[in-house]
Structure 1
Amino acid sequence: MKGKGWWEHLSVGAIEVAGEPWCLQHLRAHSHEVQLPGSGVQPSIAVMLRLEYSSHCVSHGARQGLALDFDSIGLDSLVIDHRGIYRAFCPTRHRLSLQLPAIMCNLADRQCLFTGHSNWLTLEGNQFGFPEGSHYEVYFNMRREAATSLRIYVESAYVRDARHAAGSQSRFKRHEKIKGWLLMLKKLRNEPVRRPMRH
């Protein structure tokens, strides 16, 4: 459907829902340079991060086994993701997404949790308006583009609710984590990223 694809929304820089414009410029692809520490005899290096964000950061899908009813939601809420799946714009996720550029630009200093898949998770602490102890969960993947360049794609970001069963987070063991800068170095060197062993 013309004009409803995520990249189309991004090119406009906003999505209008019920007559209200919601800015998306903070989620346009951007670059950020970080200085990664050296190790052993190797010096520190400047690395360029290419940061991109999925539509899932500002939209939600249908509950399992159901379809989204855009007759009641409103067709102006439609966001078609990179796989061609219909999703609905979510004001709550949009509000949370405003902190994503800062989170990702500081990824080198953050803890990254293993998910058991080909991506990683970083957590942002308590969020205003959510229960105590809740976290903003940011899922991303990372790949080497050049000797000193990485592409980081934020796949999804949300605060867990009834739509995402609380039990599914329990599989992330807090000791199974890696510092962002070390993850970046390993990706740049094409080294395997292994889960740490618990002693």
Structure 2
Amino acid sequence: MIHPDKRMLGAQLFGRIDPYVFSGVWAKNKIMSLSEAYFPPLYVDGQLYEFDHLNPFQLVVPSKLARKDLVVDIKFTNHCFSYGDEDTDADEGVLFDQNGKRRLFCPDRYELSLELPGILEAMNSAPVKVRQTTARRNWSHVIQVDNDELPYDGPYYVFFELKRASREDGDDLKLTVESAYHEKEGYDPPRLLGRMGFQLLCGKVYLKQPVSTKR
């Protein structure tokens, strides 16, 4: 069961689904796939992992502030299914991110990443709020994981950057999911600032309005 900000907005991997959010979501909010095999398949320990679920797609966000439906181009980075690796000699599951930094495939992050498209879709609901990070350039959506089939419970953090698209892009906004990971025991949670409705945030970014939140 997932409940972002204690609301029942979930993905099936985690348990129950809120019918208000997940009834016909793929058609309801006009999610459109844009490409195939954005990340190539990966063999780790003899198992094939595929990443079609993380292909780029578009989400149509209704914005009262902008007085139009905003087309949001969504892409992911491999941080959603890998972790930083600078010290090991591993030769399997090795990846390099967009900045050329070495990373290792993470089965736990991969398992959670299977639901990221649904989580992004669920954000496109008027009650859903996201939190600004202390860097003030990106945002986090926090989901509570509670499922007996998973080896961990607790917060799952989805970090994203949202920018206005250029005129020639053919869409209105660019959203990049920069990372997504569950909170580990012994590690401090990320420091986050105030909340803002996701749909309101989209409207403000599109109109180039200030988006700073209170601490």
Pick one of 126, 135, 141 that aligns with 2:145: 126
Q: Which residue of 1 aligns with 2:213?
A: 195
Name the SS for the 1:135 alignment partner: strand
Structure 2 CA distance for aligned equivalents of residues 151 and 105 of structure 1 = 15
Equivalent residues, number = 171
Q: Quick check: 1:83 aligned with 2:99?
A: yes
**How many Å apart are 1:11 and its aligned residue?**
4.2
Counterpart for residue 4 of structure 1: none
1:111 aligns with 2:106: no
Match of 1:25 among 52, 57, 75: 52
- Go from structure 1 to structure 2 and tell me whether the alpha carbon gap of 1:126 and 1:12 turns closer, same or farther (over 3 Å shift): closer
- What amino acid is the match of 1:157? A
Contact preservation (8 Å) 1:127, 1:136: no
Question: Structure 2 counterpart of 1:185, which letter?
Answer: G
**Matched ranges for 1:29-68 at <5 A:** 29-36=56-63, 38-39=64-65, 43=67, 45-62=68-85, 67-68=87-88
Contact 2:38/2:54, CA 8 A, preserved across alignment: no
In 1, the alpha carbon distance for the partners of 2:49 and 2:146 equals 20
TM (normalized to structure 2)?
0.72
Q: 1:97 to 1:131 in 2, by over 3 A?
A: closer
Gaps of 5+ in 1: 1-9
Q: Mind listing any 5+ residue stretches in structure 2 that lack a counterpart? A: 1-36
Q: Percent identity?
A: 25
From the superposition, tell whether residues 12 and 123 of structure 1 become closer, same or farther in structure 2 (CA, over 3 Å): closer
| Cα separation, 2, equivalents of 1:49 and 1:127 | 29
* Distance (Å, rounded) in 2 between the aligned partners of 1:187 and 1:124: 23
Contact 1:123 1:138 in 2 (8 A): yes
Q: Secondary structure at the match of 1:106?
A: helix
Counterpart amino acid of 1:140? Answer: F
C-alpha deviation, 1:196, in angstroms: 3.8
Aligned to 2:201: 183
Report the alpha carbon displacement of residue 84 of structure 1 after superposing the two structures with TM: 0.6
- 1:16 corresponds to which of 43, 55, 60: 43
Q: Do the aligned partners of 1:50 and 1:151 also contact (CA within 8 Å) in 2?
A: yes
In structure 2, the CA distance between the partners of 1:12 and 1:145, relative to structure 1 (3 Å rule), is closer
Change beyond 3 A, Cα 1:159–1:79: same
Question: Which residue in the other structure is 2:172 paired with?
Answer: 149
Aligned ranges 1:68-79 → 2 under 5 Å: 68-70=88-90, 75-79=91-95
**Residues 52-86 of structure 1: per-residue CA shift (max 9 Å, x gap):** 10111000113xxx51221xxxx230111111111
SS of equivalent residue, structure 2 residue 53: helix
Q: Secondary structure at the match of 2:165?
A: strand
Superposition RMSD on alpha carbons, in Å? 2.1
Decide whether the 8 Å contact of 2:38 with 2:51 is kept in 1. Answer: no
- Is the 1:34–1:46 contact (alpha carbons within 8 Å) kept by the matching residues of 2? yes
Q: Secondary structure at the match of 1:125?
A: strand
Higher relative contact order (CA 8 A, sep 6+): 2
The normalised TM-score by structure 1 is 0.77
Q: In the alignment, which of 99, 104, 115 is matched to residue 115 of structure 2?
A: 99
Partner amino acid, structure 2, of 1:165: Y
